[in-house]
Chain A
């Protein structure tokens, strides 16, 4: 059972820090091996830390030259081992103009790592299926 600071820190200091700095190993270390990440607004499902989720992040990091997540507001629930996070995303495609999203994620943890993640985006899905 993890506590309140742990839930905030795995989301911000480990997961989104890894995404923003394009550190794939740091990002994947936040997930259980059998994790599933669903982009709800497009019903896109990425299954398995080392398969679908890893491929999705490799594609994301290859396609975008700048990624920033901030302006976080968290709803953290140690009793349920869950945290919901609302945040702003500033993301720049390679050679393109910066896009702004206002997204939320729902994280459900098992043994201290993300087991189920649900992403809602305020624009087109950025978390597309990658090559395995």
Chain B
């Protein structure tokens, strides 16, 4: 689906990296959810898992943020298609459990942005799905 562009290059990077992932890393569910439309679709494509709507996405984040002591996303490489409201980013996710065990994933996200918020998010993971 193609959406009318609403953010420029800097705005798309700011939304995906500085607002969304920064909120996830500080476990601020309200701020993370504020990046999504109410009817947004969040798909982990490498495991065929879909979370439809903000309530389902909230439940996913509650479980995810509760499962790890710390969550860090870093080393972003962004690819931006501002004319079509799309942004892709590759990054490392470092997830540390309460027992100190660290899970490192090298993932890629695609976001389709409508009116300044996420309408569709697609996640491709290098390992087992942690967004269940």
Tell me how far the C-beta of B16 lies from the nearest C-beta in chain A, rounded to whole angstroms: 11
Give Cα A76–Cα B126 distance, bound, in whole angstroms.
Answer: 22
Q: Does B110 lie within 8 Å of A104, measured CB to CB?
A: yes
- B47, B48, B80, B125 pick with most chain A CB within 10 angstroms: B80
Q: Chain A contact residues: over half helix, strand or loop, or mixed?
A: strand
Complexed CA–CA distance, A41 and B127 (Å): 6
Q: What A residues does B87 contact at CB under 8 A? A: 75
Contact of A41 with B81 in the complex, beta carbons under 8 Å = no
| Bound Cα distance from A43 to B125, whole angstroms | 11
Contact partner, A41, options B90, B122, B125, Cβ 8 Å: B125
Identify which of residues 40-97 in chain A touch chain B, using a CB-to-CB cut-off of 8 Å: 40-41, 43, 73-77, 79-80, 82-84, 86
A75 touches B122 (CB 8 A): no
Contact between chains at A104 and B45 (CB < 8 Å): yes
Other-chain residue from A40, A77, A103 in contact with B81 (beta carbon distance below 8 A): A77
A75 CA to B122 CA, complexed, in Å: 12
**Please, how many residues of chain B have a CB less than 8 angstroms from a CB on the other chain?**
23
Specify which chain A residues have a CB less than 8 angstroms from the CB of B33 in the assembled complex: none
- Please give the distance in Å from B2's CB to the nearest CB on chain A: 8
Asked whether, in the complex, the Cβ of A84 is within 8 Å of the Cβ of B46, the reply is no
Instruction: Choose from A43, A76, A79, A120 the contact partner of B108 (Cβ within 8 Å).
Output: A120
> A80–B108 contact, CB under 8 A?
no
- Cβ-closest chain B residue relative to A104: B124
Task: Give the bracket for the number of chain A residues in contact with chain B.
Answer: 20 to 34
Closest chain A CB from B65 CB (angstroms): 24
Contact status B45-A122, CB under 8 Å? yes
B-chain residues with CB within 8 Å of residue A106 when the two chains form the complex: 79, 88, 90, 108
B27 at the binding interface (Cβ < 8 Å): no
Q: Is the CB of B46 within 8 A of A41?
A: yes
Q: Are A75 and B88 in contact (CB under 8 A)?
A: yes
Q: In the complex, are the beta carbons of B80 and A77 less than 8 A apart? A: yes
Contact B86 A75 (CB under 8 A): yes
B positions within 8 Å CB-CB of A: 9, 45-48, 78-81, 83-84, 86-88, 90, 106, 108, 110, 122, 124-127
Residues in chain A within 8 A of chain B (CB atoms)? 4, 40-41, 43, 73-77, 79-80, 82-84, 86, 102-104, 106, 118, 120-122
- Supplied contacts A41-B46, A75-B81, A84-B79, 9 more A-B pairs, CB within 8 Å: A41-B126, A75-B80, A80-B80, A103-B45, A104-B45, A106-B79, A106-B90, A120-B126, A122-B48
